[in-house]
């Protein structure tokens, strides 16, 4: 079977460090084109592929020239404010599209690109695929399994966070580039939370703050949310700390801590007899700690195999457009709550609207 002819649009850090290593060794894909507004970047990346067996790869001077070629699949890895514009152009040209996060700046952008995707699917049979690799992560899989099997009881609160001491100096610090850590990290963290609970968010209270970065965007955000059934969700990106658990999942019978590739499970029971005069009851902690199997942030090679199956019509994409639209709705609510100092409520009509 012929390899899928692939093009990369946006040849910066994301393309070079996260996608190129997989594409160089995956047998389903042949990279035949690169494009960047800085031609030198596109030319350098095209040379990498050419020297590693992708002999038909070349850098294109214009996006229009690339889209007029026989490319079948485009990776949109541009700066965030250009994502929907570039993805729409690819869809109109009849190309399958992988769009990195954030797939849309806001709900207006999301509605626009969904409409373009519907037209392209009907006309060409192609797919728009928002890229959320953490939704394949073994951390999320473990959380979902513990929630299903009830080992820590009824889950009532989930906290998901990322933290760093590091500063950035690139375009991610500017609002006019759709930068900021809510747009940058929010889709990963919130996407995992939404996948874990699989129910509507009804209330959001959030804060954003610029602590150490230059530019005009937040480097810290914290969002407290409530789901339809009453589960409390907490999502946070922190600056000037690097040792916090990435997950805390609290249930009526125990708590799970996950950091990097390690899971720490505490199953709590209460030995009798009850002493009503005691300040607190005695507890037994059945504690297990160990490594999570597989790829913590998602197996990129396996994701690309899945993408090839989607393009070849063998299955549906794991992250549907309804999911990412709901994710954008939550991101909008977080921005609004932080910007207006209000609690934002999400109505049933705003959630899972038909495509």
State the Rg of the chain over Cα: 22
Please determine, for residue 302, whether its predicted confidence score (pLDDT) is greater than 90: yes
Q: Could you tell me if 178 and 113 lie in one domain?
A: no
Inter-residue contact 208 to 341 (CB < 8 Å): no
| Domain CATH code at residue 149 | 3.30.360.10
Residue 281 has pLDDT above 90, yes or no: no
Mean pLDDT (the chain) is 96
One domain for residues 210 and 344: yes
Output the domain CATH number for residue 19: 3.40.50.720
Distance, CA of 175 to CA of 97 (rounded, Å): 25
Q: What is the percentage of the chain residues whose pLDDT exceeds 90?
A: 92
Last residue of a domain, one of 106, 131, 156: 131
Res 274 pLDDT > 90: no
**Structural domain range at position 250:** 134-297+327-350
pLDDT of 355 above 80 = no
Among 110, 111, 83, which Cα is nearest to 97's? 83
Residues 244-254: tens digit of each pLDDT: 999 999 999 99
Q: What pLDDT shows up at residue 167? A: 93
**Is 205 a domain residue?**
yes
203 and 85 co-located in one domain: no
CB 182 within 8 A of CB 331: yes
Q: How many domains does the chain have?
A: 2
Residues 21 and 151 in one domain: no
Examine the fold and report which residue of 66, 100, 131 is the final residue of a domain before the chain moves on.
Answer: 131
- Which pLDDT band, with edges at 50, 70 and 90, does 278 fall under? confident
Q: Which are the contacts of 128, defined by CB distance < 8 A and separation ≥ 6?
A: 87, 91, 96, 97, 99, 113, 116, 117, 120, 121, 321
Residue 186 pLDDT > 80: yes
Q: Are residues 70 and 156 in the same domain?
A: no
What six digits make up the tokens of 11? Answer: 């040849």
Q: What is the pLDDT of residue 43?
A: 98
Inside any domain, residue 314: no
Q: pLDDT class for 320, splitting at 50, 70, 90?
A: very high
CA–CA separation, 154 vs 333, rounded Å?
27
> Quick one: tokens of 226?
């409530």
Residue 17 lies in a domain: yes
Whether residue 219 is predicted with pLDDT greater than 90 in this model: the reply is yes
CB contact at 8 A, 151 and 119: no
> Residue 275: what pLDDT?
85
Looking at the structure, do residues 113 and 33 belong to the same domain, yes or no?
yes
How confident is the model at residue 228, as a pLDDT? 97
CA distance 120 to 142: 36
| 17: pLDDT strictly greater than 90 | yes
pTM attached to this predicted model? 0.95
Q: Are residues 126 and 138 in the same domain?
A: no
Q: Which helix (H) or strand (E) holds 44?
A: helix 39-51
In this structure, the answer to whether residues 82 and 213 fall within a common structural domain is no
Residues 196 and 69 in one domain: no
What does DSSP assign to residue 219? S
pLDDT score of 276: 84
Query: Where a domain ends, among 111, 131, 151?
Result: 131
The whole-number pLDDT of residue 293 equals: 86
For the stretch 68-113, pLDDT in tens is: 999 999 999 999 999 999 999 999 999 999 999 999 999 999 999 9
| Pair of tokens at residue 212 | 């150490």
């Amino acid at each position: 079977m012929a390899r899928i002819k692939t093009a990369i649009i946006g040849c910066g850090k994301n393309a070079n460090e996260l996608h190129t290593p997989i594409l160089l060794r995956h047998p389903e894909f042949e990279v035949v084109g690169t494009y960047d507004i800085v031609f030198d970047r596109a030319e350098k990346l095209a040379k990498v592929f050419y020297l590693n067996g992708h002999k038909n790869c070349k850098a294109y001077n214009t996006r229009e020239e690339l889209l007029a070629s026989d490319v079948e699949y485009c990776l949109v890895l541009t700066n965030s404010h250009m994502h929907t514009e570039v993805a729409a152009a690819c869809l109109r040209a009849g190309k399958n599209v992988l769009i990195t996060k954030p797939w849309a700046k806001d709900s207006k952008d999301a509605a626009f690109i969904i409409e373009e995707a519907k037209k392209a699917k009907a006309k060409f049979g192609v797919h728009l695929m928002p890229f959320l690799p953490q939704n394949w992560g073994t951390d999320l899989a473990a959380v979902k399994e513990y929630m299903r099997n009830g080992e820590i009881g009824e889950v009532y609160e989930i906290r998901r966070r990322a933290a760093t001491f590091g500063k950035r100096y690139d375009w991610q610090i500017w609002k006019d580039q759709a930068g900021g850590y809510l747009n940058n990290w929010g889709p990963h963290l919130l996407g995992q939370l939404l996948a874990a609970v699989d129910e509507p968010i009804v209330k959001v209270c959030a804060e954003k703050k610029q602590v150490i970065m230059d530019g005009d965007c937040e480097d810290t955000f914290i969002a407290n949310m409530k789901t339809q059934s009453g589960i409390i969700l907490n999502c946070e990106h922190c600056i000037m700390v690097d040792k916090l658990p990435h997950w805390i999942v609290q249930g009526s019978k125990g708590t799970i801590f996950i950091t990097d590739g390690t899971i720490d499970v505490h199953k709590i029971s209460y030995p009798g007899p009850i002493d009503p005069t005691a300040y607190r009851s005695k507890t037994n902690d059945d504690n297990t700690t160990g490594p999570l199997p597989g790829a913590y942030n998602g197996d990129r090679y396996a994701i690309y195999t899945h993408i090839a199956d989607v393009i070849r019509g063998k299955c549906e994409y794991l992250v549907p457009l309804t999911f990412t639209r709901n994710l954008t709705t939550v991101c909008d609510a977080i921005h609004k709550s932080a910007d207006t100092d209000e609690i934002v409520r999400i109505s049933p009509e705003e959630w899972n609207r038909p495509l």
